[in-house]
Amino acid sequence: GEYFFNNGGRGNKTFKPKKNIPEGSHQYELLKHAEATLGSGNLRMAVMLPEGEDLNEWVAVNTVDFFNQINMLYGTITDFCTEESCPVMSAGPKYEYHWADGTNIKKPIKCSAPKYIDYLMTWVQDQLDDETLFPSKIGVPFKRNFMSVAKTILKRLFRVYAHIYHQHFDSVMQLQEEAHLNTSFKHFIFFVQEFNLIDRKELVPLQELIEKLTTKDR
């Protein structure tokens, strides 16, 4: 499927989710394993590295999955996230994000939330589509810097959750998507906590929510 993002009237940008993980591949089996253990309801267990598996591959499969989930979740509220409603990319009044990717845009630029999220998702998509970073073939080794790239991807994806929770939660409620959003975010947080993938200071904008979602399951 394709998700259409309405970027405040400057033409629809189509996000195709990451080349779907090929059926019958080892990564597909891993994804199926992840889905099955999620169904058990025990998220702490579900995010753990399955026995005998490669950590890089487990992080890769889950990163792709989180990208697809956030893509869909943001897709449901794009009509409410416009240049007018969100002239800056924020997560509440205290946190504002400026975009830089280190290659095309080196100096952080202040831009609207829809534009920031467009830059962010396009950048993530480019990383996921890079076969040298996210190899889809069995036995192709991961690059030495894979984990640091994955951490940057997850740190940035977190900002989309933070923006949705702070600026668009009323729309999420109207659409009755809050259970879907909470489940997705909770899975995301348990995963990054399990492997220590995002700095604590980056998570501060949603600290209270994180505490609420994770204390019940200690």
Q: Is 33 annotated as a binding residue?
A: no
pLDDT at 32: 81
Q: Is 81 annotated as a binding residue?
A: yes
pTM of the model: 0.87
Helix (H, G, I), strand (E, B) or coil at 46: helix
User: 10-residue block means of pLDDT along the chain (218 residues)?
Assistant: 39 49 78 75 88 93 95 94 96 95 90 96 94 86 95 98 97 94 95 97 96 76
Side chain identity, residue 115: K
Sorted by where each begins, the domain ranges of the chain are 26-217
Q: Give buried/exposed letters for 1-16 (b at 16+ CB in 10 A, else e).
A: eebebbbbeeeeeebe
Side chain identity, residue 169: F
pLDDT at 19: 56
> Which string of DSSP letters, residue by residue, matches 158-181?
HHHHHHHHHHSHHHHHHTT-HHHH
Q: Is 111 annotated as a binding residue?
A: no
pLDDT at 215: 84
Query: What six digits make up the tokens of 18?
Result: 């990451």
What kind of architecture, by CATH, is found in domain 26-217? Answer: Up-down Bundle (1.20)
Q: Is 26 annotated as a binding residue?
A: no
80: DSSP letter = G
Across-strand partners of 202?
none
Q: How many CB atoms lie within 10 A of CB 107?
A: 6
